[in-house]
Amino acid sequence: MSANTLSVSWSATVAEQTHITGRALLFVMGNSSYGVSVDFVRQVIEMPAVVPVAGSEEWLLGMANCDGVALPLIDVRALFTAEPAPEESLQRAIIIDCAQGTMLLAVDQITTLTDLSATEKHNRTPANYAADYLEYSCESNGVTVGVLNIVRLFDAVRGNIGKRVDYPPAAQNNNGESV
Amino acid sequence: MLAVGLLALAISLWLLFSSAARLSDHRYKQTTATEYALTLTRLASALTAPGAAQSGADLMRSDQIARLVAMGDVQSRELLPDKTPVWFSRSETSQLDSGAEALAAHWSSIRNTLGALNSQSVGVTDNGQSGGQAGTVSLDEISRSFDALFDAVTNDTLSVPLLRKVSHINADLDNLGFLLPLTNRGDFADSIDQKIVQLKDNVDQLKALSIRADGASLLGFETKLLLQTFAEHASQLGLPAPAVDTSSKFLGNQLNPPVQSSNIQGQIAAALNQNEVYRRALDSAIHHYRRAILGALACVCAALLLSSLLLLRIRRTRNASTKRFPQQTPEQLPEQPPQQLSQQPPQHLAVMAADINQLADGNLVNEVRMVDADSPLAIQSNTIAQAVNYTGKMMRSLVEVSRGIAGKTANVAQCQHEIAEELMQLDNQRRQHIVSLVEDIKQRTSVVKELCDLQSMADHNTEAQSPRETINDVNAVMAGISAQVELGSSRIVRVVDTVNELSAMVESMKGIAERSSLRALNSSIQMSTYGDSEQEESQFVDEMQGMSRKLAASAGDAERLLSTLKADAHAAGLALSGCTSAIEGGTEASLKVSQDVSGIEQRALTLGSANIKLIDELTRQGESLHRVANAMCEIHDMDLENDKLLVLMESTLDLQLMATKLDNSLSHFKLTANEAVAG
């Protein structure tokens, strides 16, 4: 637990540096290209096996076992556009580690690791991008890239994760034991 | 007396028949004279008919006159005199002959007068008419009139130039009949003109032939009328045709000058008078003949009465003599055929023997006893009686022998008859046997012919067994192809397996490339996280990603090649499956051919059985022929027996002849004995 706490606090300082340095991991979701600061990326893995969470939002694909730690796997496209991505299109998962916590982002393809500091940032986010969850948008090699704001993303996820779930009462036998 | 009676009878009969013949002849002539008178009367009435005297041509056109003239010709010929019997009176005979000759002379004069009138009335002249159009002429009428003229001329005359000319005219009319319907066509106008000119020439020549005196005398009255009709029709065709002209020159018989019709009436009246005279003479002659016939009948009756009386007397005399010595000549013996004679006992011989016995035992002895025994007559009578007794004994023995021979002959004839019946039966059996054998041989021949046909079919079909080897070769080739196809299929399966393995390897390579790429990415992320230099980081990541891309590209190429290889293998598999289906079809065809060959083999087996039947039939035929040979041998033996029977029949006939001769000898001997007794 202490490592996580330290990591989060350390990540908050690193985020400012990343923001300064501008290196980001670009990936594709549907027809849009997104990026995430490399300071929040711990690892890129293949799509892990998930355990669905009953009563959760649609963008929460489930819980995945990642090095012995259960992490939520988030369908970013469903989170952004309220339209779940096809299951076969999700090929990779990015482990996001920051001060707010750790989670998995399910994406279609990893494009590259590049430096976005020299790119010209858009004053206005394109319409097909979820501006609430973006840090900024820019043009990288002729492609519009929306850089995610990890804090807002965590806030959105945290607001939903951990909600109380009312399960139906379990059936009991005559002795009062649950079946 | 008898000779005189017979002579009188013969003369009376001659007189009777001769008178009857002359009577019938004169009665016929009387009838003919009556008809002749009637003919003359009709001729006179026809010549004096109203309107007939105005024109001779009209008069002579009457067919009635022609028929009357023809009847007069016939009747005058029938009234000509013939030979009269010598016994008839000379005066009456001369009267009849002179009457008949006068009748003939009168008719000849009438005929000449009528002929003169005929020539006068139909004199043929050239009126020189011409004109008319061919189109207005009915060629059918011309043709019909010419046909009648043609028949009449050919019946009337034997003049060759005239007949030839008439034939030419007939041909011209036929040509015109063909050309006239084509008058509208200009091509035939010249031909029609030419034919008309030719017809004109022929008519001119015919006219020249008929104008001459001898030509005119050749044609009869009807022919001249027809010639006139044809001339009238031909004149309408524009031909210079002959025409009737009574007022122009006379071209008939120039020897007979023209006479008036009143002369004919006088001649006819004279002929009628002469005919009346002739009829009277015939009546008197018929009266005389009737008397002669009555006299002859009386003479015949008298001669018959005399002859009957004489014959009665002669018969009485003969009966008296026959009652005492009945005579029989060898010619009067009953004529019986040898077979009948042999079957019946000789009755006449027995009668003869009984007569001789009667003579020997009864009458003669009694007559001899009536005279004196010592007289020479008695001695001679005794000698004769002894001879007669001896002869009677001989006759008895001969009769007995003859009866024995007759009985034996009858037996032999009976046996011969039975043998003949048996021979007939055998002959019928032989014929039936031969007929059945012929039928049997015919049936055998037909069966053999049929079997020969089957054999030829079998020979023809057995030639079809050679394709079986070809079928076996085809089957072997098909089996080889099938094995090759199976081998190819297995190899293609192996290729497909290999391709699948390679695909799996390529997939693993792709996975390795992805993992390598992912690993490089993570390493790059870690380097950047832990603060490594950006240059090394970027070089490492670029190198790793380049390797990953190359590996992925190689894997993609390999996958593409593998997919191509897989498609080729699939196509090869399809081709092999097509080959397999084709091989299956070939196998089915081969199976059908094998079935056909099996059918041919079955037919060959059937034909083999037919051949066996043929051999059996031939064996049966051999047996039949063997039976035929045996039957023929039997027939030969029967023929030999027939020869023996023929010899026996000849012997029987000889015996019959001998019996006949013996019978005749006995008859002759009896006659001799009778003569001796009578002497």
Asked if A113 lies within 8 A of B522 by C-beta distance, the reply is no
Q: Do B528 and A23 touch (CB under 8 A)?
A: yes
Q: CB of A110 within 8 A of CB of A36? A: no
Pairing, β B242-244 against β A134-140: unpaired
Rounded CA-CA distance B165/B173 in Å is 12
Both tokens of B445, joined, read 């021949």
In whole angstroms, what is the distance from residue A66 CA to residue A60 CA? 16
Instruction: Say whether B541 and A42 touch across the interface (CB within 8 A).
Output: no
Residues of A whose CB is below 8 A from B518: 44-46, 92, 110
Using CB atoms, pick whichever of B525, B534, B545 lies closest to residue A43. B525
- Please name the residue that has the structure tokens 């006179």: B44
Q: Considering CB atoms only, which of A14, A23, A44 is closest to B521?
A: A44
Residues paired with residue B329 on neighbouring β-strands, in sequence order: none
Whole-number Å distance between alpha carbons of B299 and B191: 89
**If you write DSSP's letter for every residue of A51-112 in order, what string do you get?**
E--TT--TTEEEEEEETTEEEEEEEHHHHHHS-PPPGGG--EEEEEEETTEEEEEEESEEEE
Residue-wise burial string across B301-321, b where 16 or more C-beta atoms lie within 10 A, e elsewhere: eebeebbeebeeeeeeeeeee
Nearest CB among A92, A113, A115 relative to B525 is that of: A113
B163: number of Cβ within 10 Å: 15
CB burial readout A153-178, b (16+ within 10 A) else e: bbebbeeebeeeeeeeeeeeeeeeee
CA atoms of B569 and B562, how far apart (whole Å): 10
The residues near B567 (Cβ < 8 Å, ≥ 6 apart) are none
Residue A163, pLDDT > 70, answer no
3-state helix, strand, coil in chain A (%, to 5): 25, 40, 35
CATH topology of domain B2-113+265-298: Four Helix Bundle (Hemerythrin (Met), subunit A) (1.20.120)
Q: Can you tell me the distance from the alpha carbon of B42 to that of B241, in angstroms, rounded to the nearest whole number? A: 36
Residue A12 at interface with chain B, using a CB cutoff of 8 Å: no
B521 touching A (Cβ < 8 Å)? yes
Closest by Cβ to A44, choosing from B518, B529, B541: B518
- CB of B660 within 8 Å of a chain A CB? The answer is no
The answer to whether the beta carbons of residues B22 and B293 sit under 8 Å apart is no
Most A CBs within 10 A among B514, B517, B521, hence the mutation to make, goes to B521
Strand A92-98 vs strand A109-115: parallel, antiparallel, or unpaired? unpaired
CA distances (Å), origin B240, targets B120, B207, B215, B235, B643: 22, 9, 19, 6, 95
Dist. CA B54–CA B274, nearest whole Å:
29
Query: What is the tens place of the pLDDT at every residue in B529-584?
Result: 776 566 666 677 778 778 888 888 888 888 888 888 888 888 888 888 888 888 88
Cα-based distances in Å from A1 to A98, B223, B526: 14, 172, 22
The full 3-state SS of B468-498, as one line of letters, equals: HHHHHHHHHHHHHHHHHHHHHHHHHHHHHHH
Specify the higher pLDDT residue, B396 or A45: A45
| Closest alpha carbon within chain A to B530 | A39
Q: What is the pTM of this model?
A: 0.35
Chain A interface test: which of B528, B533, B542 (most A C-beta within 10 Å): B528
CATH number of B124-244: 1.20.120
User: Among candidates B124, B117, B120, which has minimal Cα distance to B65?
Assistant: B117
Cβ atoms within 10 Å of A3's Cβ, excluding its own: 8
Provide the shortest C-alpha distance from residue A56 to chain B (in Å). 30
B524 CA to chain A: closest CA distance, Å? 8
Do B384 and B677 form a contact (C-beta atoms < 8 A)?
yes
Classify residue A24 by its DSSP letter.
Answer: E
Q: Do A39 and B529 lie within an 8 Å CB cutoff?
A: yes
Residue ranges in chain B whose pLDDT is less than 70: 1-2, 49-63, 81-92, 116-145, 148-162, 177-189, 200, 203-262, 321-374, 458-467, 531-538, 679
Residues A104-152: tens digit of each pLDDT: 999 998 888 888 888 888 888 888 888 888 888 998 888 899 999 888 8
For residue B129, CA distances in Å to B56, B149, B173, B187, B320 come to: 24, 21, 19, 28, 106
B545 contacts in chain A (CB < 8 Å): 112
CB-based contacts of B99: which residues, under 8 Å, 6+ apart? B274, B277, B278, B281
Residues B16, B8: Cα–Cα separation, whole Å? 12
* Structure tokens, B176: 């015109």
Q: Does the CB of A19 have a partner CB in chain B at under 8 Å?
A: no
Q: Tell me, what's the pLDDT at B160?
A: 66
Q: How many Å apart are CA B188 and CA B180, to the nearest integer?
A: 9
**Which residue's entry shows tokens 């008309």?**
B196
Helices H / strands E in chain B, number of each: 16, 2
Q: Are B516 and B551 in contact (CB under 8 A)?
A: yes
CA distance to partner chain A, nearest, from residue B532 (Å): 13
Contact across the interface for A42 and B521, Cβ inside 8 Å: no
Pairwise CA distance, residues B492 & A63, whole Å: 48
CA angle in degrees (0–180, nearest 5) for B541-B544-B550:
135
Interface of A with B in 38-57 (CB under 8 A): 38-39, 41-46
DSSP string, B47-112: HTSTTTTT-HHHHHT-HHHHHHHHHHHHHHHHTS-----TTS-HHHHHHHHHHHHHHHHHHHHHHH
How far is B407 from B402, CA to CA, in rounded Å?
8
Q: Are strands B124-126 and A32-37 parallel, antiparallel or unpaired?
A: unpaired
Is residue B402 within 8 A of residue B349, CB to CB? The reply is: yes
Q: Name the helix (H) or strand (E) containing A150.
A: helix A150-160
Query: According to the model, what pLDDT value does residue A14 have?
Result: 44
Give A38's contacts in chain B (Cβ within 8 Å).
525, 528-529
Mind telling me how many Å the CA of A48 is from chain B's nearest CA?
Answer: 14
The answer to whether B65 and B49 have CB atoms below 8 angstroms apart is no
Alpha carbon dihedral B31, B32, B33, B39, in 10-degree steps, equals: 120
Q: Which residues of B touch A39 (CB under 8 A)?
A: 529
Give yes or no for a contact between A91 and A108, defined as CB atoms under 8 angstroms apart.
Answer: yes
A2-160 CATH, one of 3.65.10.10, 2.40.50.180, 3.30.360.10, 3.30.1490.20: 2.40.50.180
CB B15 within 8 A of CB B295: yes
Predicted ipTM of the assembly: 0.74
Partner A contacted by B548 (CB < 8 A):
no
pLDDT at B412: 78
How large is the C-alpha radius of gyration of chain B? 68
Count other C-beta atoms under 10 Å from residue A138's C-beta. Answer: 20
Residues of B in contact with A115 (CB under 8 A): 534
pLDDT of residue B637: 83
Share of chain A above pLDDT 70, in %: 78
The whole-number pLDDT of residue A176 equals 67
Spatial distance between the Cα atoms of B41 and A64, rounded to a whole number of angstroms: 172
A93 forms beta bridges with A45, A106
Residues, chain B: 679
CA distance A176 to chain B (A): 53
Note whether B224 and B122 are within 8 A (CB): yes
DSSP structural state of residue B359 = I
Report the gap between the CA of B498 and the closest CA in chain A (Å): 29
pLDDT at B123: 38
Spatial distance between the Cα atoms of B107 and A18, rounded to a whole number of angstroms: 185
B499: number of Cβ within 10 Å: 19
- Is residue A171 scored above 70 in pLDDT? no
Residue B144 near residue B229, CB atoms below 8 Å: no
Q: Give the gap in angstroms from C-alpha B566 to the nearest C-alpha of chain A.
A: 26
Using a 10 angstrom Cβ sphere, with 0-12 exposed, 13-18 middle and 19 or more buried, the burial of residue B246 is middle
Give the distance, in angstroms, between the CA of residue B289 and the centroid of all CA atoms in the same chain.
57
Contact B525 A45 (CB under 8 A): no
pLDDT in tens, B620-672: 878 878 887 888 888 778 877 777 778 888 887 888 888 788 888 878 877 87
How many other C-beta atoms lie within 10 A of the C-beta of residue B458?
Answer: 18
pLDDT score of B569: 86
B40-52: per-residue pLDDT in tens?
888 887 777 554 4
Q: Where do the domains of chain B lie?
A: 2-113+265-298, 124-244
Contacts of residue B149, defined as CB under 8 A and 6 or more positions apart, other chains included, come to B166, B223, B226, B227, B229, B230
- Two tokens, residue A151: 């804090």
